[in-house]
Structure 1
Amino acid sequence: MQQPSSEPVRVDKWLWAARLVKTRQLGAEAVKGGRVHINGRGVKPSKDVGPGDRLELSSGPVKVTVVVKATAERRGPAALAQLLYDETAESKAGREAYAEQRRLEAQAMAQAPSYYDRGGRPTKRDRRRFETERDKRRDRKG
């Protein structure tokens, strides 16, 4: 990776070089799909980004907001990619809150009883019990 510079770079290239997306094509698709905004405006993949720009990237339910510190045309080590931007405090808090929520949901699902508690596939006996219970519920509704 070349050293970070202050020259403007295409936003899709910068997203890839900053390691915010895995491939340049995914960066271009994110921009075309309206999931990337620079300084509050939707942009095209060819839009140049430079130091001082505020970039918002929506990735699923998580919204990452960064302030561009430097630019790079080529992708390099993660340590150098982190020097290209500063993530805002609100963005970090939102990302961490979402990670905590997912962790708690996974923990709750792990504690929920299931036919699979013994591990592996349900047995024929388990399947018959399940079907019997399902049929009882259908009869009550119908």
Structure 2
Amino acid sequence: MAVEREDDDKASDADGTGTKADASESKTADPKAVDPKAVDPKAVDPKIAAAVAAAEAAGVQSGEAVRLDSWIWSVRLVKTRSAGATACRGGHVRVNGERVKPAYSVRVGDEVRVRQEGWERVVIVKRLIRKRVGAPVAAQCYVDNSPPPPPRAAVAPAGIRDRGAGRPTKRDRRELERLRGLTGSGNPGHPGPPEGG
């Protein structure tokens, strides 16, 4: 088999391409050659790299400030900028442990805590951006230290009525309340059925 390889190498050198011999030698000789398995696939993806470059180009110049409500919207922690401002005013957003206003200037290294729907997102600011970007790029603008979200309660949809069945009767409403767990064993103000009768 070694003879065939030498012949193949000579043949490739003879036609001037030198592909097989050069390829095997370049892997060992070139110190800049990178093993594709050792590289992070997110860093190599050209779409993500282009999006990051665009976000940096449209990003903040040195010395400029970014509003907190704008930043948490840009990195997709809230759905709209006005929702971010409302969350700040309501005390659901904290920066370095303190309640802040929507116009607070965010800096690199700040810890931002956003409380939403029963759990809290904890992120450290890595990059300041003003414009909303895609999720892969947004994930590179902060370090996510959030605890895992709470498990969703597996609740069966209780009391779905057929379309056109009309209003539920009082008996139907009691059954729905019992299924939903809104009442224990009947109406607390009602004495219940007479005993022994």
The 2-side partners of 1:82 and 1:115 are apart by 41
Match of 1:140 in 2: 192
Alpha-carbon distance in structure 2 between the residues aligned to 1:40 and 1:141: 56
Corresponding position of 1:120: 162
1:84 pairs, out of 116, 141, 144, with: 141
Q: Distance in 2 between matches of 1:34 and 1:82?
A: 24
> After superposition, where does 1:94-133 map in structure 2 within 5 Å?
95=149, 98=150, 100=151, 102=152, 105-106=153-154, 109-110=155-156, 120=162, 130=172
Structure 2 unpaired stretches of 5+: 1-53, 179-185
Aligned equivalent of 2:130: 73
Residues 132 and 18 (structure 1 numbering): CA distance in 2 closer, same or farther, change over 3 Å? Answer: closer
Matches of 1:39 and 1:65, distance apart in 2: 10
- Secondary structure, in 3 states, of the residue corresponding to 1:58? strand
Unpaired stretches in structure 1, ≥5 consecutive residues: none
Q: Larger relative CO (CA 8 A, sep 6+): 1 or 2?
A: 1
Higher-helix-fraction structure: 1
- Does residue 2 of the first structure (1) align with residue 55 of the second (2)? yes
Partners in 1 of 2:98 and 2:174 — Cα distance? Answer: 57
Counterpart amino acid of residue 118 in structure 2: P
Q: 1:33 to 1:132 in 2, by over 3 A?
A: closer
* RMSD of Structure 2 on Structure 1 (CA): 3.3
Residues 63-110 of structure 1 deviation map (CA, whole Å, 9 limit, x = unaligned): 11111111101112111111111111xx232x1xx1x2x1xx32xx33
The structure with more strand, counted as a fraction of residues? 1
| Structure 1 contact 67–86 (Cα < 8 Å) conserved | yes
TM-score, normalising length: structure 1: 0.70
The separation in 2 between residues aligned to 1:58 and 1:18, in whole angstroms, is: 15
* Deviation (angstroms), 1:8: 3.5
Identity of matched residues, %: 34
Post-superposition CA distance 1:29-77 (Å, at most 9, x none)? 1111111000001111111112110000011211111111111011121
Residues 65 and 32 of structure 1, relative CA distance in 2, 3 Å threshold: same
Pair member with larger Rg:
2
Measure, in 1, the Cα distance between the counterparts of 2:113 and 2:171. 51
1:36 correspondence with 2:84: no
TM-score (norm 2): 0.52
SS in 2 for 1:2: helix
Give the aligned residue type for 2:120: K
Distance 1:120 1:68, change over 3 A: same
Q: Indicate conservation of the 8 Å contact 1:68/1:84, yes or no.
A: yes
